[in-house]
Structures are given as C-alpha cells and as structure tokens.
Chain A
Amino acid sequence: MLKKSSFILTFVVSLAILAGSALAAPPIKIGGLFAVTGPASFLGEPERNTAQMVVNEINAAGGVKGRKLELIAYDTQGDATKAVQAANRLIKEDKVVAIIGPSTTGDTMAVIPVVEKAKIPMISCAAGSKITEPVKKWIFKTAQNDGLAVARIYGDLKRKNISKVAILTVSDGFGSSGREQLKAQARAYGIQIVSDDTYGPKDTDMTAQLTKIKGSGAQAVICWGTNPGPAVVSRNAKQLGLKLPLYMSHGVSSKKFIGLAGDAAEGILLPSGRVIVADLLSNSDRQKKSLLAFVKDYQKHYKAEGDHFGGHAWDAIMLLKGAIERGGDNPAAIRDQLERTRGFAGIGGVFSYSPSDHAGLTKDAFVLVEIRKQDFALVK
C-alpha cells in the first residue's frame, strides 16, 4: 500500500515538474462502472478501455488545471446488485467526485437512487431514454437515445414509401429498448408493424422467425441487436432467400459485424454514430476532429477498431474534463457545469445539455449508412 502510493507520488511529482507546475496536488478521482465481463461486455470493455486511454492522455498532457485525473473503474458484470455495490464503494470508499457509466440501462437505473442520494454527478453510457426522462438532477448520459436511431430508420422507410415492416429484436436490454421505441414511433411515421418477434441473445438459428416474417407481408425487416445475433439473422435471411430490405440497429455499427456476416451483410442499412464513417465526413463536420483522434488512438492502444460504444466513455470523460476546467472539482460544481455544456462536439454527436435535457443530443447524432462491398457507405 505504502509502496504503491509512494510510487504514484513520485510519478506524479516528476510529471508535475515536467509540466511546469510547482505543486503535486492529489489527483481528481473519477469513478467508472462498466460491464466489462458478462453478457454486456461488448459495451463495457471498449468503454473501460477508452476511458482509461483518455484519462492517460489527459494526464500526459498535464492533467486538468494542473491536476491529474485518476480513474477507478469497477466491473458490474451487467448485474444490478453488483453495480449497486460497486457504486457504493466508489462513493463511500474511494470518494470519487463523479461517476461515468454504467454501461447498461438496467445497471444505470439500479444505481441512480444511490448516486442521487449521495449527490454525485453521473454520466451514464447507456442508451435507455428513461435514464434522463424525466430529468434527474445528478444524472446525465452520452449514449444516443435509441429513439433517435429509430427515427432515422423510419425516416428512410417513409422516404421509400414503405409502410409495412417486421421487427426482430433481441430479448435483452438493448433489444427491448429498441422494440419499445420501434412500436412507439411507428404511428407517427405511418408505419404498421406486421410482425413483432424476438430472439435470445445466445440463439444460433433465426430461420423460424424469418420464415414467419416471410409470410407476414412485410416490406422491410428491422433487426435490433448486438453481435452476433444480427449476423446470424443476415445469414439466415440470405439462406431463406428473403429479398426484403434489411435494417439493423446502431448496435452493430462496427467492422466486426461485416466480418461476421460476410457476404450476407451486403446491402444492409443501419443508423450509426459518425465514428465508423469518420474519414468520409466533410471537413466542415464539427465532430470530425474528435472522431479521427479517437479512432487513431484506440487503434494505437488496443489494436482494435474504436466503436461508438467506446465513444460514449470518450464523451463522458471529455464532458467531465470540460466541467472541471470551468467549475472546479467538487461534485456540485461539476454537476452545474455539466448542465451548462453547449455545443460540445464529441464522438456520439454534438452535446448541449440544459436543465430540461440531460441527454443532450438531437436526431443528427445518427447518420444512415449502407454496407457496400464489405465497407460502410454514407446514405445521403
């Protein structure tokens, strides 16, 4: 214990001298709650990696107002009980000034009472709209509402005069939130859901559902899930000769999906954050700089493609950094400054929080992309 802290101290001191600061102030502690293992690890792992990467970079560049950031990240395993225990530990034992995460809507909803009571600002990386609706004083989020992605898809369907769709959603938090939004917004776009099916996160064959869809008279299929389910769906659709337009969710907006689905991915449409098409954006796009930096860094550190899930953590840390720079490092000040964030161009979109909006994004956070020749292409 002593050894470790003295090591950190020396490390901090030497860095502080390098940076030209005179004092070695204690680091600002930020808590992280990520589902690094368990069924939601596809969210938690890139988030944790990104958060650590960004914190390291900020520290290497001199920290925030001359002080280092320290990220204390715990694994929730996607389990509400463990998330609450970890949140308690962050607040009571580690005495963090702010929390980023959790990764899933379920974990987030579970820790909200704890965090609200302790009056610690938290920036969730989960997408569920009920996290910030109604607005809760201490809770913000960076992940785009699923509703925004649904709006993108429905907008495109309307443009193509398609009114009958079949939806196929995964029976986990991600899928059920998508399903809820798909059903809720259908009427507004004049869309009729003619078949509403689900599949299990570990299912290996979806031909039964797709056969049913084939007989349902749908003009398009929307599949809502994260890897590997949608890849199985694409392959099964090809097997059955299902010639309908196939839409996916932003849950598969990474090259991994194309790798898994192979040929079957061709022609699939999906809403996505800008991160996968960063290099295709025009130079006037406000997010382009952040996006390119994130993609490059992630590639360098983790030898993997940075996806928009990692981007949620990137945004959260950057938002926190901005708030601390403007208002200091006590929880109340951070919260107030977070709420005053305007026009921050991050990975997930351009964030503008307000007392009545703790989600901060508009429909523009998503673009529609099509998979062509094993790559993503922007749909104008």
Chain B
Amino acid sequence: MHIGQQIAQYLLSGLSTGAIYALIGVGFAIIHNATGIINFAQGEFVMLGGMFTVFFLTVLNLPLLVSVILAIAAATIVGVAFERLAIRPMKNASPISLVIITIGGSILIRGIAMLVWGKDTHAIETFSGNEPIQLGEATILPQHLWIFAVTTVVIICSKLYFNYTISGKAMRACAYNSRAAGLVGIDVRRMVLFSFAISSAMGSMAGIIIAPLTMTSYDVGVMLGLKGFCAAIIGGMSSGLGTVFGGVILGILESLGAGIFSSGYKDAIAFIILLIILFIRPQGLFAKGDTERV
C-alpha cells in the first residue's frame, strides 16, 4: 500500500468524521445565533439520539424507521424541556452563568441516562449493510453515505429555513438584536425555544446516524460535543457551510495527524490548529470581520 493510497484513505476517513462534527457543530451554531448561548449540553443530545434509538429498537422492538422518528422526537422533547426549565428562567443571567447552567444540564442528562440505561455500550445495525464501498484508492461504508446525505440535507434545509421562511428570518433577527426583534413583534422567547428544539433534533439525528458506526453509550456526548463545538468555532458560528468546512477541516486534520504524525497526539494537533485559527482569525475562518460596537 503506497503513500498515495494511504493519503486517499486518510482524507476520506477525515471527511466522514468531519461530516459528523459538522452536523453537531451546526446545532451549536443555531442556538448560539438565536440566543448567544454556547450550549455545552449539545453533545448530550447526540447521545440521546443514539440511546433512544437503541431503547426503542431493542427494548420495545420497534422497526428501525419508527425508532428513529421516536428517538428524534424524544430528544427534541428533552431539549425543549431543558430550555423551558433551565434556560428561560435565566433571562438576565451573565454568559458565564449560562455556561455553567448548560454544563450542569449536560451532567444531569448524562447522569440520568447512565441510571436509566446503564453504562454499557450498545451497537445498532447499520442501515444498509456492511459491505465496504471502494472509492478509488479508499473505502467507506454505506453508513458513511447516510452521514453525508443527512448532513447535506440538513445544511440545505437550514439554509432554506433561515433565508426563505418567516420564522427563520425572525430567528436571524433575534440573533442580530433580540430587543429590536421583540419591538417589531417577534416572539423572542418562542424563537429561543424553537432554536433549542431544532438543534436538539439535529444533534439527535447526528447521534442516530453515527451510532451504527461508532456505537453509543451514556458518555459518548462529551467528546463529540467538544469536537462539534470546535467545528462551529472554526466555521465562525455559521449555521451553514462554514461549520461544515470547519468540521471537515477538523476531521481531516485528525485523520492525517493520526496517520502521518502521531496517533496519540492527534487530538492535540487538532486543538493546536484550533488555537492558531483563533489567534489569527478570532471570528472564525469563514466569517467576515466585524467592528466592535460601543
């Protein structure tokens, strides 16, 4: 196996992990853009998606499609409940308090999942078999195609939503200036709730489509959440292509780092790149500069 073949595989592997990070990152960006909150519990929705699917599939013996739909619904309900119970009452809280609240929320959700479902790792059958697909010099699995497809669809939908629907535009207005948005008659609280619903649904979707590859357990959310956060930051907190590029860059860096440099330090390499990006372009690679307002 010569080096060219290897690099092709690294790139493809990076692309597929990157797509996962992107999907999670978009969830971060949506909540951040609508509310200014960094939701550290975002990773937990990824976990909930996978774990609910396992639960519906194996405990209730429902068919896959039904389980997936129910799992997304259940995770969304958790997301909405979290917003209503913990975020909404904190209307005038400082950003630091909100960070702590969402960290507390993530610990709580993870803890409950651990008590209810135990600490075991669970596997889900892949959606369309395990036969590797040869792509030039490299291989991927059918499940990866699902990941690419879902990520693409989600990004397109979010683009359409934010640019062409009333409520999408309203949410962007909230992001730009929530007081002004309130003054022109937008129900800001509803928009915030809505953003939590969308991003928890997205997170759970990510959790479901990756579960057949990566398996799932009560604590998968932590690392995936962090990586998604990185993707969103690199992408300049955009809910569209920026974060997708962010995720893919991160995924490829990790994969090349592990393959060519040192697998032990691959996460460190990814984070060093992240720091360098932040130092050089604090507003993210794909965002336009912004003058600070007084």
* Chain A in direct contact with chain B (Cβ < 8 angstroms): yes
A256-B121 contact, Cβ under 8 Å, with A37-B114, A199-B263 = yes
- The reply to whether the CB of A198 lies closer than 8 angstroms to some CB of chain B is yes
Q: In chain B, residues 220-263, which have Cβ atoms closer than 8 Å to a Cβ of chain A? A: 220, 222-224, 254-256, 258-260, 263
B121 nearest CB neighbor, chain A only: A228
Give B125 Cβ to nearest chain A Cβ, in Å.
8
Q: In chain B, residues 46-60, which have Cβ atoms closer than 8 Å to a Cβ of chain A? A: none
- The reply to whether the CB of A14 lies closer than 8 angstroms to some CB of chain B is no
Cα of A237 to Cα of B1 in the assembled complex, Å:
15
Judging by beta carbons under 8 Å apart, are B114 and A215 in contact?
Answer: no
Give A297 Cβ to nearest chain B Cβ, in Å.
19
- The reply to whether the CB of B267 lies closer than 8 angstroms to some CB of chain A is yes
Q: Which of A69-77, A100-108, A205-213, A315-323 forms part of the interface with chain B?
A: A205-213
Q: In chain B, residues 129-151, which have Cβ atoms closer than 8 Å to a Cβ of chain A? A: 130, 132, 139-141
Q: In chain B, residues 197-227, which have Cβ atoms closer than 8 Å to a Cβ of chain A? A: 210, 213-215, 217, 219-220, 222-224
- The reply to whether the CB of A263 lies closer than 8 angstroms to some CB of chain B is yes
Q: Which of A1-9, A123-131, A238-246 forms part of the interface with chain B?
A: A238-246
- The reply to whether the CB of A343 lies closer than 8 angstroms to some CB of chain B is no
Judging by beta carbons under 8 Å apart, are A211 and B13 in contact?
Answer: yes
Q: Which residue of the partner chain, among B2, B214, B264, B267, contacts A205 with CB atoms under 8 Å?
A: B214
Q: Which residue of the partner chain, among A197, A208, A232, A239, contacts B255 with CB atoms under 8 Å?
A: A208
Q: Which 8 residue pairs are nearest across A and B when measured between Cβ atoms?
A: A204-B214, A202-B223, A208-B258, A228-B121, A215-B1, A207-B13, A197-B263, A208-B259
Which of under 10, 10 to 19, 20 to 34, or 35 or more describes the interface residues of A?
Answer: 35 or more
Judging by beta carbons under 8 Å apart, are A256 and B132 in contact?
Answer: no
Judging by beta carbons under 8 Å apart, are A205 and B213 in contact?
Answer: yes
- The reply to whether the CB of A260 lies closer than 8 angstroms to some CB of chain B is yes
Judging by beta carbons under 8 Å apart, are B1 and A241 in contact?
Answer: no
A215-B3 contact, Cβ under 8 Å, with A228-B217, A232-B215, A241-B132 = yes
Judging by beta carbons under 8 Å apart, are B119 and A41 in contact?
Answer: yes
- The reply to whether the CB of B16 lies closer than 8 angstroms to some CB of chain A is yes
- The reply to whether the CB of B102 lies closer than 8 angstroms to some CB of chain A is no
B contact face: mostly helix, strand, loop, or mixed: helix
- The reply to whether the CB of A171 lies closer than 8 angstroms to some CB of chain B is yes
- The reply to whether the CB of B40 lies closer than 8 angstroms to some CB of chain A is no
Could you say which residues of chain A place their CB within 8 Å of the CB of B121? 227-228, 231, 256, 260
Could you say which residues of chain B place their CB within 8 Å of the CB of A264? 130
B222 nearest CB neighbor, chain A only: A202
Q: List 20 A-B contacts (CB under 8 A).
A: A37-B119, A202-B220, A202-B223, A204-B17, A205-B16, A207-B13, A208-B10, A208-B255, A211-B1, A211-B9, A211-B259, A212-B6, A212-B260, A215-B2, A240-B9, A240-B132, A241-B139, A256-B121, A263-B130, A264-B130
Q: In chain B, residues 87-137, which have Cβ atoms closer than 8 Å to a Cβ of chain A? A: 114, 119-123, 130, 132
- The reply to whether the CB of A214 lies closer than 8 angstroms to some CB of chain B is yes
Give B42 Cβ to nearest chain A Cβ, in Å.
16
Cα of A39 to Cα of B223 in the assembled complex, Å:
12
Given contacts A207-B13, A232-B213, 6 further A-B contacts (CB under 8 A): A203-B223, A205-B17, A205-B213, A208-B259, A240-B139, A264-B130
Cα of A215 to Cα of B4 in the assembled complex, Å:
11
Could you say which residues of chain B place their CB within 8 Å of the CB of A39? 219
Could you say which residues of chain B place their CB within 8 Å of the CB of A204? 17, 20, 210, 213-214, 220, 224
- The reply to whether the CB of A262 lies closer than 8 angstroms to some CB of chain B is yes
Judging by beta carbons under 8 Å apart, are A260 and B263 in contact?
Answer: no
Cα of A134 to Cα of B7 in the assembled complex, Å:
46
Cα of A39 to Cα of B259 in the assembled complex, Å:
26
Could you say which residues of chain A place their CB within 8 Å of the CB of B255? 205, 207-208
A231-B215 contact, Cβ under 8 Å, with A211-B10, A212-B259, A215-B6 = yes
A45-B119 contact, Cβ under 8 Å, with A202-B223, A205-B17, A240-B139 = yes
Cα of A239 to Cα of B17 in the assembled complex, Å:
15
Chain A 204-236, CB-CB to B under 8 Å as 1, else 0, gives 110111011011000000000001100110010
Judging by beta carbons under 8 Å apart, are A42 and B258 in contact?
Answer: no
Judging by beta carbons under 8 Å apart, are A238 and B130 in contact?
Answer: yes
Give A225 Cβ to nearest chain B Cβ, in Å.
12
Could you say which residues of chain B place their CB within 8 Å of the CB of A215? 1-3, 5-6
A208-B213 contact, Cβ under 8 Å, with A202-B220, A214-B1 = no
Judging by beta carbons under 8 Å apart, are A207 and B9 in contact?
Answer: yes
- The reply to whether the CB of A259 lies closer than 8 angstroms to some CB of chain B is yes
Give A263 Cβ to nearest chain B Cβ, in Å.
7
B140 nearest CB neighbor, chain A only: A239
Judging by beta carbons under 8 Å apart, are A171 and B214 in contact?
Answer: no
- The reply to whether the CB of A200 lies closer than 8 angstroms to some CB of chain B is yes
Could you say which residues of chain B place their CB within 8 Å of the CB of A171? 264
A232-B10 contact, Cβ under 8 Å, with A171-B264, A197-B258, A209-B263 = no
A260-B215 contact, Cβ under 8 Å, with A204-B17, A204-B210, A227-B121 = yes
Cα of A235 to Cα of B141 in the assembled complex, Å:
10
Which of B14, B223, B259 is most buried by chain A, counting CB atoms within 10 A of its CB? Answer: B259
Could you say which residues of chain B place their CB within 8 Å of the CB of A263? 130
Q: Which residue of the partner chain, among A200, A205, A238, A259, contacts B123 with CB atoms under 8 Å?
A: A259
Give B258 Cβ to nearest chain A Cβ, in Å.
4
